[in-house]
Amino acid sequence: MNALPQTKPAPRGCGICGATSARELYTARDRLRNSDDLFIIARCDGCGVLRTLPEMSDDKLAFFYPADYWGGEPTLDWIRKSQVEKTNFLAACGLSGGRLLDVGCGAGFFLRALDPETWDPFGVEVGKAAAAAAERIIGSLRIFTGTLIDSACEDEYFDVVTFWSALEHTTEPRDNLIEARRILKRGGTLIVQVPNADSYQARWFGGDWFALDAPRHRYHFSVATLTRLLGETGFQIDRTSFHSKAHNAHALRQSLKSKLYLPPKGALGRAAFLACIPLIKPFDFLMSAIGRGATLTIAARAV
């Protein structure tokens, strides 16, 4: 009997619009050096979002997350300081308490930093070790190990749902936002933070941009693509920020270091990098102020 011909699985297509065709823009390597593979950053022909190709199963993608990806076990004081930008953003949105779900919560640092007197914290995390670490602190039955779509939360259960540097990791961003709308109360708040694919850093560095983080980041959003997607999934934009003290200047420094300083760069490149260091924070502050910052944070209301 002749063996059946081997066929490749049909491409899954864009997780926003379903299109299977895209135009290659540039290539990128894994900055964590899990492999020497080249990954393609392509613009979807259907909706314009940037995607990392080739498509990967969740099991294959898990290879690119090292065991210590979510960090160790720091002190509560360090956790609160590291999360102050997020808690300040909540306050700036007029959010002071309620039932909150953090998607991609890792070891639960953001949830731990919330005031337990006013917030009722829950989390979703695909990493088993990180989810277990979060559950030890946040409490039993408050952390779901798996995806948001698999968590099967109750309809209109939460006041706030957050995706802090999480939506870009998913293979189904539209479905995740539809699910977030289902479990949010009407008038509840969604917060999404992603690297800004239309930032000056993304344009300057392309595949060498530190915040690109291929292949872990499957989608790369601009203001236009994320705003449109949120509108299509039941949200109305309330607040947009391009500032991030925690991420922006660090990404610029690391991107410049890769371009100018690391071997096999010469002495002139290393000197140029060192000369740039004092200018990094003030320059990034100015670029963020005109809407070109490397981090995009949007608060949207469920309508």
Parts of the chain belonging to CATH 3.40.50.150: 76-211+219-242+292-302
12-38 burial, b at 16+ Cβ within 10 Å, e below that, comes to: ebbbbeebeebeeeeebbbbeeeeeee
pTM score: 0.93
Q: In the prediction, which pLDDT does 3 show? A: 44
Read off the pLDDT of residues 22-48 as tens digits, 9 standing for 90 and up: 999 999 999 998 888 999 999 999 999
Q: Do 66 and 242 touch, CB atoms closer than 8 A? A: no
AA identity, residue 265: K
Q: In the prediction, which pLDDT does 124 show? A: 98
215/56 Cα distance (integer angstroms): 9
Read off the pLDDT of residues 85-97 as tens digits, 9 standing for 90 and up: 999 999 999 999 9
Read off the pLDDT of residues 212-247 as tens digits, 9 standing for 90 and up: 999 999 999 999 999 999 999 999 999 999 999 999
Q: Nearest Cα to 25, choosing from 50, 54, 56?
A: 50
Residues 6+ apart with CB under 8 A from 229: 16, 47, 49, 173, 174, 177, 221
CATH, domain 76-211+219-242+292-302, list 3.40.50.12280, 3.40.50.150, 3.40.1010.10, 3.40.190.80 = 3.40.50.150
- In this structure, what token pair is assigned to residue 154? 């109750």
70 falls in which pLDDT band (50, 70, 90)?
low
Least confident of 30-34, 170-174, 292-296: 30-34
